[in-house]
Amino acid sequence: MSDGKPIVLVTGATGYVGAHIVEKALATKYPVRVTCRPNKVNEVCQYYGDQVEVCEITDIAKCDYTEALKGVWAVIHAEAPISGGETKEELVQSFVHGTMNIIEQGYAAGVKKFIITSTIMTMVDLDKFPEVFDNNKTYTAKDWNPIASEEAILVGEHDSYWVYAASKTIAEKRAWSFAEAHPDADITTIHPSLVYGPPTGIHIPSCDLRAPSTQFLLYCNLFKMPGGGGAMPPVPPLHVDVRDIAKAHVLALTAPPASKVGGHKRIPLSAPSFHFDQAIEHLAKVRPDLKDRLADQSAGGDAMPKGMASVDETRVKEALGFEEFIPWQKTVEDSVDNFAVLEKEWFKQ
């Protein structure tokens, strides 16, 4: 216990989002237990010291959480085991079966509160990307990615982003089916759009565009790439600061049950949007020393159309009591200030 608060178990604690959730939970005086793979245990112990308890796990789809769940009041499942090289079968196992494994074992151990890190991509049809973001639609908690089954994911050729989104969609549907069968299970799913903002000290974002490293994606769209770089994929100007995601997860720990907020606590999370040309213009003013390194706005790097879809903020405010998002200007500035550190890792020879 800490300040009378019960133990929160956080999976994915060394990831970009998970690490911020751990730090926000600690700052809010929750006692935190984390799970991590064997090769991360020493790193986590050295970084956090005695601030957290650490439990080693291997395969999240099959591992035994008995020890990790002892005395736990709530589970935040932020595990995102994707590096860009996984097969479709591996991604389905990790996201679908990994999610249900922690929910089923947690519930059997007496845990009733679960917060699941999902993605806004469970609310859109990626077969229509990028047009799906060029329709002036406001996405809400009622919208769904149309993928219907695990089997549908395994048919055809799709990139890791599509498979990631589809797997997260099926995982979420399974979680809601579980909640309907177990009315005392209090489940919240958090659905961030593209995640920007500085990482914590324990996490170094990947510079592999096959993996969901949105920090590197932001970098590539704001700066001239070494050696000229290549064409960037279309990027929707929907974003949320990673620190706001952590805040939403911790707020969800004390949010009212679904019965009091009008249905499933399915929370889309996206801040007021911006385009990269706006960010480049802003950086030229507030970080003039970087002006020569900024991408050429006339080169067409901002590949998405300007008439864009948006994300409804009502649910996050009503269900979680979330108030103001971090302004995009601060998100961009703090990210860019951190890039000097990340560049040493990304471009080391």
Average pLDDT over the chain, rounded to whole?
87
Q: How confident is the model at residue 98 (pLDDT cuts 50, 70, 90)?
A: very high
Instruction: Say how far apart CA 67 and CA 72 lie, in whole Å.
Output: 10
Q: What is the pLDDT of residue 226?
A: 66
Q: Is the pLDDT of residue 88 over 70?
A: yes
pTM of the model: 0.92
Closest CA to 35 of 67, 6, 4, 62: 67
All structural domains of the chain: 7-204+240-272+309-325 (3.40.50.720)
- pLDDT tens profile 266-310: 999 999 988 888 999 999 999 999 999 998 866 544 455 556 788
pLDDT at residue 202 in the model = 72
Q: What is the mean pLDDT of residues 22-35?
A: 97
- Residue 319 one-letter amino acid: A
For residues 70-94, give the mean pLDDT: 85
Express as a percent the part of the chain with pLDDT over 70. 87
Give the model's pLDDT for residue 268.
97
pLDDT digits (tens, 9 = 90+) for 145-173: 999 899 898 888 888 788 889 999 999 99
Percent of the chain with pLDDT strictly greater than 90: 58
Cα atoms in the 13 Å half-sphere on the side-chain side of 269: 35
pLDDT at 207: 53
pLDDT of residue 190: 98
Give the tens place of pLDDT for each residue, 247-278: 999 999 999 998 888 889 999 999 998 888 89
Q: Is the pLDDT of residue 198 over 60?
A: yes
The residues, any chain, with a CB within 8 Å of residue 70's CB and separated by 6 or more, are: 109
pLDDT at 28 over 60: yes
**229 pLDDT band (50/70/90 cuts)?**
low
pLDDT of residue 76: 99
